[in-house]
A = this chain, B = another copy of it.
Amino acid sequence: MNLPPMIQTFVLHFGEMGSRWGISRTVGQIYAVLFVAPQPLNADQICEQLGFSRSNVSMGLKELQAWNLVRLRHLPDDRRDYFESPDDVWEIVRILAEERKKREIDPTLTVLRELSMQQPASPEEIHAQSRMTEMAEMIELLTGWYEDVKRLETERLAQLLSLGARVQKILEIKDRLTVFPGRPRPGSANTNAAPSDRKA
């Protein structure tokens, strides 16, 4: 490996974390190199920096493209493929969220919905099915929120995040404005805004 010390530490860390993030060590390191690179890199440059075989890098780049985490670029008068990570870290978060949802959540939700439809044939199945339905409903609420929030512009999203739990205060204000407009603060805020409140 042929990298400045600071970058090497970063790259090795991403490699180690790779397995926890659902990618391999190699893929993690390739991504790390691309993330900090000041300009797009081609496969041979990555090979040289990391000391991996050409084919290994090719596989790794293919996987990163499948994750939408790197983009293919072309430089004038050079027919090699160059790769780069998106510049905007928020864009990267959006991609990660989308891909992880697709791989880690959607398939399970599909199975849970199917099983929730079936006719249970025994007492164990009746109980199991109600557990599966609970899980499916929880996932639906979570992914429904995600589908809404992912459409926010980055600036709004950052505003929302920095607000944190204090959004609760605002919800209380909203309760007063919409449910009891102008009325003096009712004992506590309205808590009837249950899931059914969501636009179908």
- Give the interface of A toward B (CB within 8 A): 4-7, 9-10, 13-14, 17, 20-22, 35-36, 38, 89-90, 93, 103-104, 107-108, 111-112, 115, 118, 120-125, 127-129, 131-132, 134-135, 138, 141-142, 144-145, 147-149, 151-152, 155-156, 158-168, 170-171, 173-174, 177, 191, 193-195, 197-198
Contact = CB atoms under 8 A, between A and B. Distances in A.
Q: Copy number in this complex?
A: 2
Give chain A's interface secondary structure class: helix
A13 B35 CA distance: 34
A168 B191 contact: no
A134 B115 CA distance: 43
A27 to B, nearest CB: 15
Contacts of A5: 121
A167 B167 contact: yes
Contacts of A120: 6
A197 B162 contact: yes
Contacts of A14: 108
B163 A173 contact: no
A144 B165 CA distance: 10
